[in-house]
Amino acid sequence: MSEAKFRKNDLYVYDLSGEVRTSLHLMSFDQNLNECDAVAVEPSILDAIPIESKIVKVDQSANKFHCNACNLDFENQLIQRKHYQAEFHTLNIKRSLRNLPPITYDEYDTSQKKYDPQEETSLTDIKETSEESSDDGSDSTESETDEEFENEFNEKINIFDDLSSSKTVSHLSTKSSQIYYKSNLLADTEAFGIYKNIFSLKQLDHPTSAINSWNEDLEYSSNAISALFMIGGGHFAGAIVSHQRMKIGSNFNRGKNSKDSLQEHAVIFLEHKTFHRYTTRRKQGGSQSAMDNAKGKANSAGSTLRRYNEAALKTDVQSLLKEWQPYLEKCENIYIRARNANDRRLFIEEPSTLDKHDARIKSFPFTTNRPTIHELKKAWCELTYLKTVPKPKPEPVKKTEVKKEVSKTEAPKQDRALQELSPEEKHTEELVSLLKKGRAPLLIAYLRKSKVDVNVKLEPESKYMYTPTMLHYASQNGHKRMINVLLSNLRSDPRIKNIHGRTAYDLSKNETIRQEFQIARYNLGEHFTNWGESHVGEPLSREEVGEINKMKEENDRKETESLIQKELEAAKERQKLEKEAKRGPGHRLDGGKLVSIEQNLNSLTDEQRRKLMREQRARAAEARLRQNK
């Protein structure tokens, strides 16, 4: 790939550089993504500018370089462009959207002197309304798709597909969310991509003309706005974004902790707001209303709080839409990303200010993360900057007829096996499935509806020879709860034996299962059946079983504690022996040799010898005093 001849800032669709814009050539494809020449070729880039955009709009002062928002005239186009990037112009845009008269530059300068200019770092701080709410680390980055949202709101995407399918060759036949442009600034295998839903339906037929009108009509680019909304998991983020970018120099300081790129820093939000409501259980997913519809209304404190927050979230969103209604009426596009149907209704149901049939309402054609102001800026940059992408590769021709013939002749083996099952085997499959899942009410209902006896033999016999009845199967597989249901509720016969002469009680693998049989014997009474033939132990009440298990647990605990104590004592003894073995028996420091007093005295100096003699005399005197007492 050759080195890029442009910067990323040159790819903003509302402010393309002249070199990039003149290099764009719209690509058209057939149904198999083969690049073709369009039937009706669009005019060249320079000639595609509408006549209206070439005619200069002259105001009353007969000056073609005029700003309607600020009511100012300029000497040339360069000064006019710089004015459109100034905060003064942005402030008057806001005032015009609220039907307020523009202020003069002197009034703006006077108001700015009241504030410290170092405290304001961007145009978005003019009105700080966002309250970024952060969740705990339960969900690091939850990625969410917009497929359902596109089906309901983005009906124009379906129209795009209809247009592309109706024409053999079209620039819309890309089988993706983008249209493509060739450019001599890119390699032969690459192209510029731009999302389809940034255009209106009329603009989509002639996208090149639309791009040129955006870049040539400075009045349009300075006044045009769009709306961005994201909601999901109780998080909401919304903004009114200007199509005009902020001017950022090469020496712009983003800050150490800033996550925004230079392009994201250049985004101008006229208004923005974020808030969060606790509507979803942590690590559970799904709103409380969805859980209520699926499993019934819960009465816990947490569920009540989540229901209240859902209603509060709806009120907050609709209040914000009503507050931003002057902006929404003038928006070119309204992009909405909603997680589910309930979240989507917040924007389109009464008393919302938006109409679900509004052609301006669109979705984000890519996945987004948790709704935040940073994510809104990131999504806007993704929408409005040209992407360098590989050219679409032609698709191979598919032989659909051959595949259909094969699919008709070859039936899956599993389907054939199900068709060959006998009624008894079908009953067995259903009963065993309910036993495994522990669905006691469904099992009882199925037996009554199908009029199947509880002691029915499971089929096929070769597969269930060791567990011929449901009671045998439940006992062998440890389904404790189902044993109680089969015996106490359905009155299953515990005397039935398998081919080895073993009853269901004999197949139980642990004491807990055997106790369940004994509890059933106690509840049903001795008159129910011949319990001797069933090999079931003595009857026990549930309280007696609880006492037995409690005593067993206590004995196990004491035995465990005694074993731990013995192990500790043994470890201490081992440590003691290891220390003694390491220390050894010991030995005398003098080596066992006796040294005479004369030898010791001879080794001393005269002063030391006199000192020693004085000490000896003093000790002798003390000894005599003690004896006299």
Tell me the three state secondary structure of residue 29: strand
DSSP states along 272-324: EEEEE---B-TTT-SBHHHHHHHH----SHHHHHHHHHHHHHHHHHHHHHHHT
What DSSP designation does 486 have? I
Question: CA dihedral in degrees (199, 203, 208, 213; nearest 10)?
Answer: -90
pLDDT at 239: 93
Instruction: Give the residue with greater pLDDT, 479 vs 255.
Output: 479
Has residue 164 got a pLDDT over 50? no
C-beta separation of 30 from 168 below 8 A: yes
pLDDT at 61: 40
Between CA 505 and CA 485 the distance in angstroms is 15
Tell me the three state secondary structure of residue 394: coil
β-strands 225-232, 28-29 pairing? unpaired
Helix (H) or strand (E) holding 53: helix 51-54
Residue 111 tokens read as 């108001």
Residue 395 tokens read as 């698709």
pLDDT at 420: 73
Residue entry with tokens 């009706």? 40
Question: CA dihedral in degrees (486, 491, 497, 502; nearest 10)?
Answer: 60
Q: Is the peptide bond before 351 cis (omega within 30 degrees of 0)?
A: yes
pLDDT at 44: 41
DSSP states along 418-482: HHT--HHHHHHHHHHHHHHHT-HHHHHHHHHHHT--TTPPPSSTTTSSS--SHHHHHHHTT-HHH
Q: What is the band of 130 on the pLDDT scale with cuts at 50, 70, 90?
A: very low
Instruction: Give the residue with greater pLDDT, 618 vs 144.
Output: 618
Q: What is the band of 399 on the pLDDT scale with cuts at 50, 70, 90?
A: low
> Which of these, 335, 376, 364, lies nearest to 145 by C-alpha position?
364
> Which of these, 33, 75, 24, lies nearest to 175 by C-alpha position?
33
pLDDT at 564: 92
Give backbone dihedrals phi and psi of 30, rounded to 5 degrees, phi first: -95, -170
Residues whose CB falls within 8 Å of the CB of residue 66, separated by 6 or more in sequence, listed in order: 57, 59, 72, 73, 74
Lowest mean pLDDT among 242-251, 389-398, 414-423, 494-503: 414-423
Between CA 347 and CA 273 the distance in angstroms is 15
The dihedral built from the CA positions of residue 449, 451, 456 and 462, taken in this order, carries a sign that is negative
> What does the pLDDT average to over 600-622?
86
Return the percent helix, strand and coil in the chain, to nearest 5. Answer: 50, 10, 40
> What does the pLDDT average to over 105-132?
50
pLDDT tens, residue by residue, 28-67: 888 778 888 765 444 444 344 343 333 333 343 445 677 8
Has residue 166 got a pLDDT over 60? no
pLDDT tens, residue by residue, 186-238: 888 888 999 988 888 888 888 888 888 888 877 777 788 999 999 988 889 99
Q: How far is CA 543 from CA 480, 485, 539, 546, 609, in A?
A: 17, 19, 12, 5, 92
Between CA 328 and CA 317 the distance in angstroms is 14
Give backbone dihedrals phi and psi of 385, rounded to 5 degrees, phi first: -110, 140
Domain ranges of the chain: 8-35+129-248+261-390, 419-540
Q: What number of helices (H) and strands (E) belong to the chain?
A: 27, 13
> What does the pLDDT average to over 86-104?
79
What's at 368, amino acid-wise? T
The reply to whether 419-540 shares the fold of 8-35+129-248+261-390 is: no
Q: Which of 38-42, 316-320, 340-344 has the highest mean pLDDT?
A: 316-320
CATH topology of domain 419-540: 1.25.40
pLDDT at 229: 92
Using the CB atoms, write b or e for 456-473: b if 16+ within 10 Å: bebbeeeebeebbbbbbb
Catalytic residue status for 288: yes
pLDDT at 551: 92
Residue 63 tokens read as 């000056």
Between CA 502 and CA 390 the distance in angstroms is 71
Instruction: Give the residue with greater pLDDT, 473 vs 105.
Output: 473
Q: What is the band of 618 on the pLDDT scale with cuts at 50, 70, 90?
A: very high
What DSSP designation does 31 have? T
Instruction: Give the residue with greater pLDDT, 287 vs 625.
Output: 625
pLDDT at 228: 93
> Which of these, 4, 354, 301, lies nearest to 152 by C-alpha position?
354
Instruction: Give the residue with greater pLDDT, 278 vs 296.
Output: 278
- Tell how far CA 202 is from the center of its chain: 36
C-beta separation of 104 from 88 below 8 A: no
pLDDT tens, residue by residue, 596-609: 555 567 778 888 88
pLDDT at 113: 58
Q: What is the CATH number of domain 8-35+129-248+261-390?
A: 3.30.420.60
Has residue 550 got a pLDDT over 80? yes
What is the pTM assigned to this prediction? 0.49
pLDDT at 62: 45
Helix (H) or strand (E) holding 271: strand 269-276
pLDDT tens, residue by residue, 527-542: 888 888 888 888 888 8
Give backbone dihedrals phi and psi of 252, rounded to 5 degrees, phi first: -65, 135
Q: CA angle at residue 611 from 609 to 616, to 5 degrees?
A: 95
Q: What is the band of 252 on the pLDDT scale with cuts at 50, 70, 90?
A: low
DSSP states along 154-182: -HHHHHHHHHHHHSSSBTTTTSSSEEEEE
> What does the pLDDT average to over 462-468?
87
In three-state form (DSSP H/G/I as H, E/B as E, the rest C), the secondary structure along 92-110 is HHHHHHCCCCCCCHHHHHH
Lowest mean pLDDT among 395-404, 552-561, 564-573: 395-404
> What does the pLDDT average to over 95-100?
74
pLDDT at 4: 58
pLDDT at 35: 82
- Side-chain-facing half-sphere of 75: CA atoms under 13 Å: 1
Query: Which residue out of 288, 318, 476, 515 is catalytically annotated?
Result: 288
Has residue 134 got a pLDDT over 50? no
